[in-house]
Amino acid sequence: MAFLELDNVTVAFGPATNQTVVLKDISLEVEENEFVAIIGFSGAGKSTLISLLAGLQQPTLGEVRKNGQLVTEPGPDLGLMFQNYSLLPWLSVNDNIKLAVKTAFPKLSKTELAKKIEHYVKMVKLGHAGDRKPHELSGGMRQRASLARTLSLDPEVLLLDEPLSALDALTRSELQDQILNIWETDKRTVVMITNDVDEAVLMADRIIPLTMGPEATLAQEFVVNMERPRDRQTLNDHPEFMRLKSEITSFMMQINKESKAFSSNQVVPMPQIRPKDFTPISGTPRLKTRPTQPGKPKSAA
């Protein structure tokens, strides 16, 4: 039995007579300490999927299980890192983390609490900015603070909902390295949602594409057989990396095409229209002649 399981899960909205099925028949098994990436286009239902795993949402059909037990409500053991940081803007970075640490370890003394906060703030290299409010931080710093908050819950499962998609390319690669570093030193189960093939190949053990919605489901998985730690510098020359990247990319493109065909499979034949010929009959146009003014009868020559 896998550590985290989705068992034939379907999510639908709306009344029974007119249901919109977002996710259909999704089955996923994640082993302990495995890093799984779920890749899909925007609007496919990725966030719904991660909400299911986090227990924020209940499936219409099927079951979500962690360690064999049904996931019915969110909690600190399912550490969800939100797409748009979701730091509380009225609290400083330290206080945001403090809120989480207090939930995970309610019985800590004041000094232990401070130590723990410091530990996590330093882990994401925000030691200098602990007293600042979120609006005083850059996007990357905010996401790091959010990561620190999630980590400080000491969750069994780390759920990352497009953690880096709002960041610029440089900050993004830096944060990818940080997340990988943290994961490698402190192994735990990770499910990451992403829309970036490079990111998925670089970070994950397995990559599972999500097909286009509605009625999105998981497609055939790709196993990343690359040794760790993976080096960003030499990655582009790695044959396995190249192969996976091109395979996944072409697969995703194909899904997109299918979906487009699905959404508008009716081909409307366009009428064949030849453009009207405007060239003057009498050969080359005379540029100097002015057009006769309307309403003024031409005098007979």
Partner 1 sequence: MADSPKDKLKYSILKVIDVSGFKVFDPPVRLIFGEEPQKQIRDIAKYMLLPILFIGVCILAWDIIGPNHKTKSGEVPNPAKVLVAYSDARRFDQREDEKNHAFEVTGSERKSEVKRVESKLAQLEKEQANLQKKSSEIAQAAQKSLDTQLAPIQEKYAALKAKNESAEEVREAEMEALAEKIALKEAQPEKLIALLKQATVAEEKEKEAESILKDQMDLIRDNPPEEVKEAQLVTNKVADEVQHHKKLLAILTKENKSVKEASLLAKAKEDAEQLAAATTGKEVLKEAKSIVKNTERAESTSEQSYPRTATIFWQTRRSLATVFVGFIIAAGVAIPLGIMCGLNRIFMACMTPLISIFRPVSPVVWLLIFQIIVGAFFLPDPASHPLFVFMNDSLNPFSSLQTNPAMIFSACTVAMCALWPALVNTALGVSAIDKDHLNVAKVLKLGFWSRLFKIVIPSSLPLVFAGLRISLGVGWMVLIAAEALSSSDGLGKFVWDEYQNGSSQSFANIILACFVVGIIGFFLDRLMIILQRLVSFDDGSATA
| Residues contributing to the site for partner 1 (CB under 8 A) | 54, 56, 73-76, 78-80, 82, 84, 86, 88-91, 99-100, 103, 133, 135, 153
If we measure between CA atoms, which residue out of 197, 181, 133, 188 comes closest to residue 156?
188
Distance separating alpha carbons of residues 201 and 221, to the nearest angstrom: 12
When the beta carbons of 135 and 296 are compared against partner 1, the nearer one is: 135
Q: How far is the CB of 91 from partner 1 (least distance, A)?
A: 8
Specify whether the CB–CB gap between 159 and 64 falls below 8 A.
no
Q: How far is the CB of 58 from partner 1 (least distance, A)?
A: 13
When the beta carbons of 153 and 210 are compared against partner 1, the nearer one is: 153
Q: How far is the CB of 88 from partner 1 (least distance, A)?
A: 6
Distance separating alpha carbons of residues 103 and 97, to the nearest angstrom: 10
Both tokens assigned to 223 = 């196993």
Q: How many helices (H) and strands (E) does the chain have?
A: 8, 10
What order do you get walking across the sheet with 189-194 strand by strand? 78-81, 157-161, 189-194, 35-39, 206-209, 222-223
Q: How far is the CB of 153 from partner 1 (least distance, A)?
A: 8
What is the β-pairing status of strands 157-161 and 78-81?
Answer: parallel
Residue 134 main-chain phi, psi, to 5 deg? -50, -35
Residue 291 main-chain phi, psi, to 5 deg? -70, 145
Specify whether the CB–CB gap between 55 and 75 falls below 8 A.
yes
When the beta carbons of 56 and 113 are compared against partner 1, the nearer one is: 56
When the beta carbons of 82 and 120 are compared against partner 1, the nearer one is: 82
If we measure between CA atoms, which residue out of 72, 67, 147, 154 comes closest to residue 106?
154
When the beta carbons of 84 and 181 are compared against partner 1, the nearer one is: 84
Distance separating alpha carbons of residues 162 and 146, to the nearest angstrom: 12
Q: How far is the CB of 129 from partner 1 (least distance, A)?
A: 15
Q: Using CA atoms of 30, 83, 229, 37 in order, give the dihedral in degrees to the nearest 10.
A: 30
Residue 201 identity (one-letter amino acid): V
When the beta carbons of 132 and 238 are compared against partner 1, the nearer one is: 132
Q: How far is the CB of 89 from partner 1 (least distance, A)?
A: 4
When the beta carbons of 100 and 244 are compared against partner 1, the nearer one is: 100
When the beta carbons of 88 and 223 are compared against partner 1, the nearer one is: 88
Q: How far is the CB of 82 from partner 1 (least distance, A)?
A: 6
Q: How far is the CB of 156 from partner 1 (least distance, A)?
A: 13
Q: Quick one: which H or E segment has residue 39?
A: strand 35-39
